[in-house]
Amino acid sequence: MRTLILGGARSGKSALAERLAAGSGHEVVYIATAQALDEEMAARIARHRADRPAHWHCMEEPLALAAALRAQVRPGRCVVVDCLTLWLTNLFATRDPARLAQERDALLELVPSLTGQVLLVSNEIGLGVVPMGELTRRFVDEAGRLHQALASQCDRVLFVAAGLPLALKGSLA
C-alpha cells in the first residue's frame, strides 16, 4: 500500500506516519530527507531520532530518493519517507534544474511499481496566499504538481490538521 500523508507544519502528519508504521507489524525503515545545515535543524533532527523506536532502521537521503526507495522497499517492510518538501528544498538548493527534474521524474516513475507499505509525508503548502517571489512561487508550484501526481499513484491519501487525519482517497484504516 502506498500512502501520501499531507498536512501543514506541526499538523501531526509525521506522528500519523509513525503510528501507521508502528502498527503495520512490519520491519520499519525510515528515510529522512532533512539535512542539518544549521544548529536549529540539527536539534530538530536529534529530537526526531530520539522520538523514533530504536529498532527502526533509519537512513538519510537528501537527494536520491528514488534510488533509496528502490533499495529499501519490499514486501514485509514499511518504509516511511519524511519529508518530500524538504527533499524538494534540497533539490532546489542544488540550483540544477536538470537534477530536480531527473530526481522528481525518477520518483514518479518508481512509485507505481513499489510493493510493500510506503508512507510518504509532505507539507501541503498551497493553502495560503500566493507567494511574492518567483523562486517561492516556483517551489509551491513544484510541490503542488508533485502532490497531485503522487496522489494519483497512491492507494491512499490522508490530510492531517490539528492532529486529526482525514481520508481524501482510500480509508483511514
Residue 2 backbone phi and psi in degrees, to 5: -105, 125
| Cut 0.75: pTM above it | yes
Could you tell me if 61 and 31 are in contact, meaning their C-beta atoms sit under 8 angstroms apart?
Answer: yes
The mean pLDDT of 61-79, rounded to a whole number, is 97
Is 48 a catalytic site residue?
yes
User: Catalytic: which of 48, 55, 57, 147?
Assistant: 48
Could you tell me if 20 and 119 are in contact, meaning their C-beta atoms sit under 8 angstroms apart?
Answer: yes
* Band of pLDDT at residue 45, cut at 50, 70 and 90: confident
147 is in which domain, residue-wise? 2-169
**Domain harbouring 108, CATH code:** 3.40.50.300
Say how many domains are in the chain: 1
Question: How many C-beta atoms surround the C-beta of residue 9 within 10 A?
Answer: 9
Tell me the β-bridge partners of 123: 7
Strand pairing report for 77-82 and 117-123: parallel
Express each pLDDT in 108-130 by its tens digit. 999 999 998 999 999 999 888 87
146 has pLDDT over 90 = yes
